[in-house]
Amino acid sequence: MVILDVSIVNVALPSIAADLGFTPASLAFLARKEAPGLEVFGGIDLNLTVGGMNPAAVEHMTRMTGGWGRFVWMSTFDAENQVRYSKENRPFVSVSRSGQLLPETKAVIAVIARHGLVLATGHVSAAEALLLLREGRQQGVARLVVTHAMNAPILMEVPQMQEAARLGAFIEFAGSTMANASAAARVDRFADAIRKVGPQYCILSSDLGQEGNPVPPDGFADFLIALRAKGFSEQDIDTMAKTNPARLLGLQ
């Protein structure tokens, strides 16, 4: 199964995406037509390119033919937490102020709940991610995921991940490339956290495809092999890499 991120479309084709209303939900429909049997899903990433915390953009995604737009990522590249972590001086998208979610954030969550979409926390802070999950639960969102929880700039601690799991969220572990010097230590940290949270609450992903990194299928395979080497069973890997993602997308 393949998930397309709207930020890719907006980086590569900004004017076309804006003028024609393309989202990966519509591209997923086209991909399914070209490759019957391949399960492709789309999503929207609430960066500045789509107006930030924009419930109208999420609503628009749900109207794409086929209904294959399933994911809503809170801001990633343009998240306030990302911009501050990177010490950059540029506009950003906020989800909260003074420890409270903004009205526009709650409005986005309401659209997610109404259409049965996946709420993914994006690059917000760990504390903000928990605020989003609590609000999601309160509004009736059934599918929740903490976006690559241990990666910068989220940097969730294990107790926070355990709380997120109790709120009904899956915790995402994104392997990235296994070919750099930090890979072994990263897999060690992931393995320890997965054991403490429980594989039944975790999903695995690659977060690959960038220039200079492995293509997602190859890099993801290397990540799964590295976790197997840490003692996770084939059933554990299947749960995190197949079963839980399928549940998140409403396939099971």
Domain limits, the chain: 1-148, 175-252
Average pLDDT over residues 62-78: 90
Q: Is the pLDDT of residue 2 over 60?
A: no
Q: Is the pLDDT of residue 221 over 90?
A: yes
Q: Is the pLDDT of residue 1 over 60?
A: no
pLDDT digits (tens, 9 = 90+) for 187-210: 999 999 999 999 999 999 999 888
- DSSP string over 12-75: H-HHHHHHH---HHHHHHHHHHHSTT--EEEEEE-SGGGTSS-HHHHHHHHTSTT--EEEEEPP
How many CB atoms lie under 10 A from the CB of residue 233? Answer: 10
The DSSP H or E segment spanning 219 is helix 216-229
Q: Is the pLDDT of residue 10 over 50?
A: no
67 pLDDT band, cuts 50/70/90, is: confident
- Mean pLDDT, all residues of the chain: 89
Report the share of the chain in percent with pLDDT over 90. Answer: 76
Closest listed residue to residue 73, CA positions, set 2, 149, 147, 152: 147
The DSSP symbol for 208 reads -
Describe the chain by its helix, strand, coil percentages, rounded to 5.
Answer: 50, 15, 35
Q: What per-residue confidence (pLDDT) applies to 16?
A: 32
Lowest mean pLDDT across 25-39, 139-153, 155-169, 202-216: 25-39
Q: What per-residue confidence (pLDDT) applies to 23?
A: 65
